[in-house]
């Protein structure tokens, strides 16, 4: 996976011969024959065989079934904790999005809904503004998403990523401000779409930096 110069031909020969009784292979021979990395063999008083932790774990789990079982259980525990943290973050952003939507709908009621409209008309206006945000962020309306995903329950926002929900929360507040300013829907959609693109790019860039930092041991 990490060594493009690894000698696969020599490795195939070693693998085929490894079952014979007379087969012997030292760490130094392994390195010379296969161009392997991750292992270092040094002779002398302070010498020895040293390996990357991934390789060391493989040898250790081969020797000790108890250690192998421990690593499997520990991996499952860490993945469960990670999933719990992700779900918590998702629910937090979903709640934040709903709170900001109240600000958003209040602005619509004050500036876009004429007096004495029947409830059905008011709901249509709300749906139109919600779809304006959907178009700005997801590139489709709620109906288009349902038509494209008839097997899924809920709505397009229920399947959004944490990054999308963060941006959606921001777009709702920004749209409320634009409504107060009397900006027409088409212009608001253009501005919101540009803002969504900029913010998502920034969030994904931050995510890549954090991932790279974690891989380097930061």
Q: In 3-state terms, what secondary structure has residue 58?
A: helix
Please tell me the total count of domains within the chain: 2
Q: Report whether 36 contacts 28 (CB < 8 A).
A: no
- Do residues 172 and 103 make contact, with C-beta atoms less than 8 angstroms apart? yes
Mean pLDDT of 207-216: 49
DSSP per residue over 76-143, as a string? HHHHHHHHHHHHHHHHHHHHHHHHHHHHHHHHHHHHTSPTT--HHHHHHHHHHHHHHHHHHHHSS-HH
Whether residue 21 lies inside any domain: the answer is yes
Q: State pLDDT tens for residues 101-160.
A: 655 555 544 553 334 545 654 455 556 788 888 888 888 888 889 999 999 888 888 888
Residue-wise pLDDT tens digits, 143-165: 889 999 999 888 888 888 877 88
Please say if the pLDDT value at position 209 is more than 60: no
Is position 73 within any domain? Answer: no
| Pair (44, 112) in one structural domain | no
3-state helix, strand, coil in the chain (%, to 5): 70, 5, 25
Question: 90 and 196 share a domain?
Answer: yes
The verdict on 118 and 199 lying in the same domain is yes
Instruction: Give which of 137, 176, 182, 180 is closest to 155, Cα–Cα.
Output: 137
- State residue 87's pLDDT score: 66
Q: Is residue 74 part of a domain?
A: no
Residue 1 lies in a domain: no
Q: What is the DSSP letter of 212?
A: H
Q: Are residues 105 and 178 in the same domain?
A: yes
Range of the domain at 169: 82-215
- Examine the domain organization and report whether 42 and 105 are in the same domain: no
């Amino acid at each position: 996976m990490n060594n493009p110069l690894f000698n696969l031909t020599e490795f195939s020969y070693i693998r085929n011969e490894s079952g014979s009784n007379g087969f012997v292979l030292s760490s130094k021979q392994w390195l010379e024959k296969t161009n392997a990395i991750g292992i270092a063999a040094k002779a002398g008083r302070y010498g020895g065989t040293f390996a990357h932790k991934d390789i060391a774990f493989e040898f250790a789990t081969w020797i000790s079934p108890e250690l192998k079982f421990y690593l499997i259980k520990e991996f499952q525990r860490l993945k469960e904790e990670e999933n719990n943290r992700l779900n918590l973050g998702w629910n937090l952003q979903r709640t934040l999005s709903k709170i900001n939507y109240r600000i958003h709908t209040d602005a619509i009621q004050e500036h876009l809904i004429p007096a004495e409209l029947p409830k059905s008309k008011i709901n249509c206006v709300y749906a139109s503004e919600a779809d304006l945000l959907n178009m700005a962020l997801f590139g489709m309306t709620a109906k288009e998403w349902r038509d494209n995903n008839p097997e899924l329950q809920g709505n397009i926002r229920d399947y959004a990523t944490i990054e999308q929900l963060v941006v959606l929360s921001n777009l709702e507040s920004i749209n409320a401000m634009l409504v107060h300013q009397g900006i027409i829907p088409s212009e608001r959609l253009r501005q919101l779409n540009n803002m969504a693109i900029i913010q998502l790019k920034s969030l994904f860039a931050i995510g890549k930096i954090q991932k790279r930092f974690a891989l380097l041991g930061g």
